[in-house]
Amino acid sequence: MDGTHAARTVTEVMATAEPPAAATPFGRASRDFLFGEVWSRPGLSRRDRRWVTLTCVAAADSPGPIEEHVHAALASGDIELEALLEFVLHFAVYCGWPKASHLEGAIARQWDRVHRERGEETPPWPQLPNDTLGPGVWDERLKRGVEEFIDVNLMPAPPTNSPYRHAGILGFVFGHVWQRPGLTRRERRIVTVASVALDDSPVPLQTHVTAALHSGDLTKEEMDEIVLQFAAYYGFAKGEALADAVETAWASKPG
Amino acid sequence: MDGTHAARTVTEVMATAEPPAAATPFGRASRDFLFGEVWSRPGLSRRDRRWVTLTCVAAADSPGPIEEHVHAALASGDIELEALLEFVLHFAVYCGWPKASHLEGAIARQWDRVHRERGEETPPWPQLPNDTLGPGVWDERLKRGVEEFIDVNLMPAPPTNSPYRHAGILGFVFGHVWQRPGLTRRERRIVTVASVALDDSPVPLQTHVTAALHSGDLTKEEMDEIVLQFAAYYGFAKGEALADAVETAWASKPG
Amino acid sequence: MDGTHAARTVTEVMATAEPPAAATPFGRASRDFLFGEVWSRPGLSRRDRRWVTLTCVAAADSPGPIEEHVHAALASGDIELEALLEFVLHFAVYCGWPKASHLEGAIARQWDRVHRERGEETPPWPQLPNDTLGPGVWDERLKRGVEEFIDVNLMPAPPTNSPYRHAGILGFVFGHVWQRPGLTRRERRIVTVASVALDDSPVPLQTHVTAALHSGDLTKEEMDEIVLQFAAYYGFAKGEALADAVETAWASKPG
């Protein structure tokens, strides 16, 4: 196993000058498997691999890795601040507000650190105008929510017969969040697939994986890479459930 | 340990005719520790213990317990359907949409089962009118969101300088969800405390536990019972983090 | 309830001079249920109980318990450093890289603390020779991976038709990690069972529990104790899913 290639990938991906010592079985496997193999693979861009990884580390709550990967995303230039902040909101919907709160704190710290490292002053985050919140007329908002739900999920929207479906799903998640610019539909799908995989609620897992593939927004090759990246960062047990969902979705793809 | 008392508590809490066989160490500990001790304790009502338990089982994704505890909540009469459906939305905010989706499916199944068991037809869930969605004028909605944030968290509201804070926290979570009737402020605090405990992002954990105690909405005795109920259903590892947060919050309570 | 016996068990297991105060319902249940009952039980060795517990606390991310249980494992002499470092890698496979990274940090801190407590200098971690990385010729590695997969899982190996299965499962998980010395096959099974239980993806849960029992590497009595130890640290909700998987596997055991 060529440690040189792996070590170089570590420094590129993690935006560090030197790779950490590979002095333990875990450290050695980090260098050789995680970076030497998984991060080095073609088939999924580095930016897309970061979306999967950021979702996993943020959901895992491990404090060090969250700071390191947020820093790496910013310092490498692979992901700009605005996209990271949109990611926080999408992640909040799929993994819950408390973890998103912690993630946003990490982004604030690492945004500051990146500028200090460059000897620059840290630009503040601008206030957002209210016209970014979408229509305030509920009939119109819910109508657009229904359309977005169908477009994303490739199935009919639910009725508005519960708070979760009415205020939540149609009024907010598809009525607003999925429509926000700053993250592409495709990127939102990547974050969502990783999120439903770490949750493994069976129906949302199959629904979102199927929609991602059947829409054509993600290819089978890209999805297969997402499975491996996810398995490395959230474990091969949940990785297996995601792998199965991908195979099921691919087998049922029309045409 | 009086097995009769424990067995009786099982049937009451789980709304079953017969307690399950206690044939393994786990089965016996379920009967004797979980029901014989924890569920039987004074200091926290059965309905409030159900809020903690429902949050834990829904977040844990364990399919059997989710169905059993949702059924028990409905069949016992301790929690009415409307409150359960409000719980789904609050839970979605704190534990993420996919788990909430699964939870709502369980509620639909168990609502149907409860009526079949009674030989009744299952009433449908009524469509919700749009005037339950709150103000659509953003300035007003955010202003109320700021007020609700301060009232709930006992600290200043964040600036609107990220999508998460603007559209999410102020526009939706405090700008709408916490204000909805159907669950009391106190009940929302119980679900939120259990949610931040199972996530254990450190700052939200301390923030919500502190606000729950300092507001007076939950007493120290009630919070101590919530810690034990939570530890039983989500484990003593995360239970310890919650216990520590409670002691820290109590030590800093003014007066 | 004999508080003296429980208190003594706490100090033995946690390698502390004094048990912590049991001043709250949670504190008393920790002492009486966790230590007075669960840790005190025959049927599973203390070292094996530590494997279950370490997996649970590391996955739960609760910072205090991770440090306490890693310290206790080292200070008690029940688990040596080399085995703990192998555990980190196996845990990384099943619970993901970020949590494993945090766990390894805790081991470094507690390794240092144990030596300071003894007034000794902290020995560095042993260098790993390159031949611990397994065969570098891929045909041979995958061939051995297939053999190990079948031997561990008691079922045919999957085809190499996805990155997850090829580079992940056969090239790394079974092609390398399960074959490493430093943890026995049986110990790897214990850690894996606890991992799939806390994840509760249904197929890996049933697969690994079934293989553990049908291989004879773990007896029914030991598995029942693992269920209880797990339920104590990761909760009775997920504990129930594990208990059900054990009963299903036992009922289908040949002979």
The tens digit of pLDDT for each residue in B221-252 reads: 999 999 999 999 999 999 999 999 999 999 99
Closest residue of C to A202, CA-based?
A: C201
Nearest-by-Cβ selection for A65 from C98, C171, C204: C98
Percent of chain B with pLDDT over 90: 85
Q: Is the pLDDT of residue A128 over 70?
A: yes
> Is there a contact between A104 and B163 if contact means CB atoms under 8 Å apart?
no
- Whether A237 and C201 have beta carbons less than 8 Å apart is answered as yes
> Is there a contact between C232 and B235 if contact means CB atoms under 8 Å apart?
yes
CA–CA separation, A126 vs B160, rounded Å? 8
What per-residue confidence (pLDDT) applies to B241? 93
Mean pLDDT of B155-181: 95
Contacts of C26 in chain B (CB under 8 A): 224, 227-228, 231, 239-240, 243
CA–CA separation, C210 vs C153, rounded Å? 8
Contacts of A93 in chain B (CB under 8 A): 96-97
> Is there a contact between C237 and B233 if contact means CB atoms under 8 Å apart?
yes
Mean pLDDT of A227-249: 94
Q: Which helix (H) or strand (E) holds C104?
A: helix C97-117
Percent of chain B with pLDDT over 70: 99
Closest residue of B to A136, CA-based?
A: B136
User: What does the pLDDT look like over A3-40, one tens digit per residue?
Assistant: 678 888 999 999 988 777 778 888 888 888 999 899 99
Contacts of A233 in chain C (CB under 8 A): 96-98
User: What does the pLDDT look like over C221-254, one tens digit per residue?
Assistant: 999 999 999 999 999 999 999 999 999 999 999 8
Q: Please give the mean pLDDT across all residues of chain B.
A: 93
Give B241's contacts (C-beta < 8 A, 6+ positions apart): B197, B200, B205, C62, C63, C64, C65
Contacts of A163 in chain B (CB under 8 A): 85-86, 88-89, 128, 132, 180, 182
> Is there a contact between A24 and C85 if contact means CB atoms under 8 Å apart?
yes
CA–CA separation, B88 vs B91, rounded Å? 5
CA–CA separation, B212 vs B192, rounded Å? 9
What per-residue confidence (pLDDT) applies to A1? 42
CA–CA separation, C6 vs C31, rounded Å? 6
Nearest-by-Cβ selection for A164 from B100, B137, B169: B100
Closest residue of B to C35, CA-based?
A: B236
Contacts of C96 in chain A (CB under 8 A): 56, 60, 232-235
Closest residue of C to A228, CA-based?
A: C164
User: What does the pLDDT look like over B5-38, one tens digit per residue?
Assistant: 888 899 999 998 877 778 899 999 999 999 999 9
> Is there a contact between B201 and A127 if contact means CB atoms under 8 Å apart?
no
CA atoms within 13 A on the CB side of B242: 33
What are the sequence ranges of the domains in chain B? Answer: 1-18+26-40
Contacts of A97 in chain B (CB under 8 A): 93-94, 168-169, 173, 204
State ipTM: 0.90
> Is there a contact between B65 and C240 if contact means CB atoms under 8 Å apart?
yes
> Is there a contact between A66 and C99 if contact means CB atoms under 8 Å apart?
no
What per-residue confidence (pLDDT) applies to C129? 67
Q: Is the pLDDT of residue C68 over 90?
A: yes
Closest residue of A to B92, CA-based?
A: A96
CA distance B86 to chain A (A): 6
Closest residue of B to A137, CA-based?
A: B136
Closest residue of A to B126, CA-based?
A: A161
Give C161's contacts (C-beta < 8 A, 6+ positions apart): none
CA angle (A79, A84, A87) in 5-degree steps: 125
CA–CA separation, A148 vs B82, rounded Å? 27
Contacts of A139 in chain B (CB under 8 A): 130
Radius of gyration over every alpha carbon of chain A, rounded to an integer in angstroms: 19
> Is there a contact between B43 and C25 if contact means CB atoms under 8 Å apart?
yes
> Is there a contact between A62 and C99 if contact means CB atoms under 8 Å apart?
yes
Distance set, CA B219 to CA A153, B43, B78, B252 (Å): 44, 10, 21, 14
Residue type, A94: Y
The two tokens of residue A107 are: 């982004």
Q: Is B17 helix (H, G, I), strand (E, B) or coil?
A: coil
CA angle (B237, A105, C113) in 5-degree steps: 45
The two tokens of residue B146 are: 């700021």
Distance set, CA A30 to CA A27, C98, C101, C129 (Å): 5, 11, 9, 16
Contacts of B54 in chain C (CB under 8 A): none
Q: Is the pLDDT of residue C1 over 50?
A: no
Q: Which of B180, B119, B63, B122 is nearest to C203 (CA)?
A: B63
Q: Is the pLDDT of residue A171 over 80?
A: yes
Subunits touching B (CB < 8 Å, at least 3 pairs)? A, C
